[in-house]
Amino acid sequence: MTYHIEPLSEIYETSDGYIITIDLPFITDKNQIEMYVKENELEIIATMNKKVFWSSFEGFGRRIEVNKFRKKISLPIKIDPESVKATFKNGLLIIEIPKKREKKTKINIS
């Protein structure tokens, strides 16, 4: 049986939006990655170029065969899915999510 595991990820907030990086060892080409975006959620599925053995503390060190990474990330804000940009470089997926520009109304102070 082959399993999928969750990759490590980091999220940073910038003044313009969010940058999410996802570490994807054994992924060498962008075509191995599928990415889906909803208003407040990202899903990434990446298929490794071979099956590998992996063990975790939680699994009591039991080695399992894995060939996929899968991760869902809930976003703290609603986003425009069309505005999301993703690049893959040196085994890292970098996702840039701009913040929605919301119309501001200036209030006069009396």
Give contact residues for other proteins (rule: CB under 8 A): 7-8, 10, 12, 21, 23, 25-26, 52, 54-58, 61, 89-92, 94
- 49 or 83: whose CB is closer to other proteins? 49
Q: What is the nearest approach in angstroms of other proteins to the Cβ of residue 23?
A: 4
DSSP 71-89: EEEE-SS---GGG-EEEEE
The burial class, CB within 10 Å (0-12 / 13-18 / 19+), for 87 is exposed
- 2 or 55: whose CB is closer to other proteins? 55
- 57 or 110: whose CB is closer to other proteins? 57
> How far apart are alpha carbons 65 and 26 in whole angstroms?
13
